[in-house]
Structure 1
Amino acid sequence: MSRPLSIAVAPYDRTLPLMAGLVPIAGVAPTYVTAPLEEIFARAFDEQAFDVTELSFSNYLYLTATTGCPYVGLPVFPSRAFRHSAVYIRTDRGIRGPRDLAGRLIGVREFSMTAALVARGVLEDDFGLRAAEVRWRYGPADSEDSKPIIRVRPNGVELEPLTGADNLSDALAEGALDALIAYKPPKAFLKGAPNIRRLFVDYPAIEADYARRTGIFPIMHLIGVRREIAEREPALCRHICDAFDTARRYAMARTQETQAPFTSLPWAPAEMARVSGILGGDFWRYGVQANRAAIEALCRYSFEQGIAPRKLTPEELFVPGALDWESTA
């Protein structure tokens, strides 16, 4: 008999095969839940609302290192993104490169969000700009955004509420901020507001170079399972990993189809080939060992930026029985 399981996850190409019933989970009768990611994260961390859920990697690190997280990780990473493109600046403040951000007012929705964690990590690793050298201001991303939940007061870092504007996008447009780290382009940028651009204009080339040099495709989110379920049913954890991996491989394979294209992009197979040439043929692979460099970077960033009080290891973050689990090529 199949056991019921509630699973909260965003509808990506690599998760939709699960949600559509094309890929089963052995021994499970799943109920899939989707909502804005901020809502999923809040309900998971604060209410333990789901049996299995997508989680912010950065906030998971913080909770694991401090008060404890009600979820334990599975080495399944449904969201990944390079974040050089996430840094936006005002062009009338004399900011010509990353080091010019020292001492500036920079906005961020949540200091602990993974997009900002990775962007700050890159700025320190490649350009020597430490998080503590910047004056951080937090607030809603735009006029339609909800008020952010502030879980972290970073050690040794100036972090205060935004003043002088109602939201980060308006603050950047009006000059109340010098720069902004955003997980999606701010509305002021999209509307063509004057004196706003990305810090790294040619970000695709810079991110590709970063990937080649480091071997890292940054992880944003992971899948977590409630601790009591993981402890009681270790075999279930591997079944969940297997199913998410089967869905991922389904999406990756179909993206390369030409007869009846799987995606709405007319040159998707060519783009897949180009990206594979940069990142490797199985660039979205799950598992701890295949992603150790990216996981260790997140652990280090969290500690260096004053979020986690100690540097965690990958072995502390995942279900013990899944530490040796790996994606199928």
Structure 2
Amino acid sequence: MSKLQLSVAMGDYDRTRALLDGRVLIDGVDPVYMTLNPEEMFFRAMRSQDFDISELSFSSYAVKTAKGDCPYVAVPVFLSRAFRHTSIYVRKDRIKKPEDLKGKRIGLPEYQLSANVWARAILQDDYGVAPEDVTWVRGGIETPGRPEKIALQLPPGVKLESAPEGVTISDLLDRGDIDGFMAPRPPSTHVLTNPNVGWLFDDPTAVAKDYYRRTSVFPIMHVLGVRKTLAERHPWLPGAVFKAFSQSKAAALEALSDTSATKVTLPFVEEQLKAARETMGHDYWSYGVEKNRATLEAFLHHHHAQGLSSRRLSVDEIFHPATYETYAI
């Protein structure tokens, strides 16, 4: 039997490297890999369904799944995770603490981005700043006029406006026309030299560690999607994809632990790995549903509460059933 030739879109990460170089194979699949940045990958996946298997924005996937028109079914492979305390920049000359953002203007590239769902959840749960307390200004980070990938119907109390034509949210932050900036990427490089612009949290790592200790939540940004028609035709495929991506991540962690000659162009890797495991456990970047149920529940709660998913999704309806259990020897 010939293998399925499938297109696979994903980021170029250490945790996908063993797939890209052929050390790990997807059973029954002859993959055509494309390493793309998230903006291109998510736009093409949601607008024209260009890929058979694709890394997906968790938020976009939830929006479409709640509506019942998502072309993909998710596999619990979480290629991107991040504590989003570093995704909020402010004018330090006027914002001294999170509560100061009430009544202010915050720029963002798209309202529904997963990073922004998590950042708004942090502001609301820990500091009492609700989405309705802020005026949101949508625009591109580097290029003016960025649209939402998916049409949204936000709650009536949410104030969302577009940046002026020809202007980015980086420009608005630099000149003080907005008070804050929320995005998965930082503002443009020239803005970061402005002495009045900086992270909302002076020590975001310390704040994030405290957040994890209190909640046990390690935020998930991206899931992996398999085209639904393929999963229906080949019910073994989602499980094979989960197995291969898990093996690739295991290979990355093994390499990270080999410090005879560090594989990462960054000092203090041993210390950072030790600290991460002391805080979050040995399998700190886990795949699978059950190990991540608390994080998944938190995201789906806030996604619906922020008016992005039309109904409250349950964890058990968003992943293919073949990915819940694996064999043991």
Normalised to the residue count of structure 1, the TM-score between the two structures is 0.94
Identify unmatched segments of 5+ residues in structure 1.
none
1:41-72 deviation digits (Å, cap 9, x = unpaired): 11111111111000000111111112521001
Q: What is the alpha-carbon distance in structure 2 between the residues aligned to residue 131 and residue 227 of structure 1? A: 33
User: Structure 1 residues 153, 141: CA separation in 2 closer, same or farther (over 3 Å shift)?
Assistant: farther
Deviation at 1:165, TM superposition (A): 6.4
The whole-number CA distance in structure 2 between the counterparts of 1:165 and 1:147 is: 10
SS of residue in 1 equivalent to 2:77: strand
1:116 aligns with 2:122: no
Find the residue that maps to 1:54 and give its secondary structure: strand
For residues 257 and 247 of structure 2, what CA distance do their matches in structure 1 show?
16
8 Å Cα contact 1:65-1:310 kept in structure 2: yes
Which deviates further from its counterpart, 257-266 or 217-226?
257-266
2 CA distance for matches of 1:256 and 1:236?
Answer: 31
Aligned ranges 1:286-301 → 2 under 5 Å: 286-301=287-302
- Contact residue 106 and residue 181 of structure 1 kept, 8 A: yes
Q: Which amino acid aligns with 1:123?
A: L
1:229 and 2:244 matched: no
Look up the SS of the partner of 2:56 in the other structure: strand
**How many percent identity over aligned positions?**
39
Moved more, 126-135 or 283-292: 126-135
Query: 2: distance between equivalents of 1:111 and 1:53?
Result: 22
Q: What is the deviation of 1:103? A: 1.4
Return the offset for 1:189: 6.7
Residues 243-270 of structure 1 deviation map (CA, whole Å, 9 limit, x = unaligned): 0000000001110112232222243222
**Partner of 1:147 in structure 2?**
146
SS at match of 1:129: coil
Q: Which runs of 4+ in 1 moved over 4 A?
A: none
Distance 2:223 2:21 in 1: 21
1:139-218 equivalence runs, <5 A: 139-143=139-143, 147-151=146-150, 152-156=152-156, 157-163=158-164, 166-187=167-188, 191-218=192-219
SS in 2 for 1:125: helix
Q: Give the alignment of 1:48-59 within 5 angstroms.
A: 48-59=49-60
Q: Alpha carbons of 1:188 and 1:12: their partners in 2 closer, same or farther (altered >3 Å)? A: closer
What is the root-mean-square deviation in Å for CA atoms of aligned residues?
1.7
Number of corresponding residues: 325
In structure 2, the partner of 1:277 is 278
2:319 aligned with 1:318: yes
C-alpha distance in 1 between matches for 2:321 and 2:226: 12
8 Å CA contact retained: 1:118, 1:218: yes
The CA deviation at 1:126 is: 1.0
Aligned-pair distance for 1:188?
A: 5.4
1:78-124 CA-partner distances (Å, limit 9, x unpaired): 0000001111111233x222222111111010000011110001111
Q: CA deviation at 1:191?
A: 3.6
Q: Distance in 2 between matches of 1:148 and 1:253?
A: 40
- Gap regions ≥5 residues in structure 2: none
AA matched with 1:26? D
